[in-house]
């Protein structure tokens, strides 16, 4: 399983390492098993992110602060 995951295109692995650079800028690296887990998890996460874009633009508004007062 791990071999399969690690055989994914380098760009995916590099991409993740680049994101994690925000954490590891002072040095260090993620543990190999953590990186493998993230690579394994990413496809399902991408499906979730992609699903967010299925909502038609007409439904969307800009982000606002919470307004608890509803007006009938």
Partner 1 sequence: MTELADCSLWELEYLLRVGEATSQTVTTAVLRRLAETEPLVGAYAHIYGTAMRDAEVADERRKVETRSSPLLGIPIAIKDVFHTADAPTEAGSRVLRGFQATEDARAVSRLRSAGAVLVGKTVTHEFAYGMNTPRTRNPWNLGCYPGGSSAGSAVSVAVGSAVASIGTDTAGSVRTPAAVNGVVGFKPTYGRISRAGVVPASPSLDHVGVLGRSVRDCAALFEVMAGHDPRDPASLRIPVQPWTSRPPDSVVGKRVGVDRSYFMDWDGVTGGVRSRVDTALRVLQDLGVQVVDIHIPLLDMASAVGSTLMTVDYSVWHREHLQTKLAEYEPGTRRMLMLGYATPAVAYVQAQRVRKAVANAVRQTYMEHRLDALVAPTIPLTAPTIQSMLESGSDIDLSGLVHHSFPANLVGLPCISVPCGLDNGMPVGMQILGRPLDEPMVLTLAASYEEATTSPRPIEPRGAPHG
The H or E element that residue 41 is part of is: helix 32-52
Chain positions 12 to 71 lying near partner 1, rule: CB under 8 A, are 15-16, 19-20, 22-24, 26, 28, 30, 33-34, 37-38, 41-42, 45, 48-49, 51-53, 55, 59-64, 66, 68-70
Site for partner 1 contains 11 (CB under 8 A) = no
Site for partner 1 contains 3 (CB under 8 A) = no
# chain residues binding partner 1, by CB under 8 A: 34
**Cα distance between residue 12 and residue 42, in whole Å:** 10
C-alpha distances out from residue 6 to 15, 41, 54, 55, Å: 13, 13, 31, 33
């Amino acid at each position: 399983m791990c071999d399969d995951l690690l055989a994914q295109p380098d760009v995916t692995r590099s991409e993740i390492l680049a994101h994690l650079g925000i954490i590891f800028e002072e040095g260090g690296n993620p543990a190999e098993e953590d990186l493998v887990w993230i690579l394994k998890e990413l496809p399902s996460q991408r499906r979730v992110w992609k699903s967010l874009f299925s909502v038609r633009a007409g439904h969307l508004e800009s982000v606002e602060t919470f307004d608890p007062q509803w007006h009938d």
